[in-house]
């Protein structure tokens, strides 16, 4: 049996932002797979993992920054050197 592949790391973003009293700043925090705020893509196979959700920063309704979620892990598989007729 071959082991499954590890999922990929998520993105990073940095910067500075000036806000004023009364500004509404919101953060949508990504999560695991299909349960995420900004959900990642579905797995291509029944046994693979879904991609993680993205995290975004908004001022009012305007999206200012986004960091992509990590990729889903691959599933393990079987291999053989025998001929299959």
pTM above 0.85, yes or no: no
**pLDDT tens digit at each of 85 positions of the chain:** 667 777 888 888 899 999 999 999 999 888 776 655 566 666 666 667 777 888 899 999 899 999 988 887 777 776 667 666 6
Q: Three-state secondary structure along the chain?
A: CECCCCCCCCCCCCCCCCCCCCCCEEEECCCCHHHCCECCCCCCCCCCCCCCCEEEEEECCEEEEEECCCCCCCCCECCCCCCCC
15/67 Cα distance (integer angstroms): 12
């Amino acid at each position: 049996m071959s082991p499954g592949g590890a999922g990929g790391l998520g993105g990073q973003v940095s910067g500075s932002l000036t806000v004023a009293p009364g500004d509404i700043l919101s953060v949508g925090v990504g999560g695991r797979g299909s349960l995420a705020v900004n959900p990642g893509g579905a797995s291509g196979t029944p046994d693979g993992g879904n991609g993680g959700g993205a995290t975004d920063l908004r001022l009012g309704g305007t999206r200012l920054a986004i960091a992509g979620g990590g990729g889903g892990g691959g599933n393990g598989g079987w291999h053989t050197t025998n001929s299959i007729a």
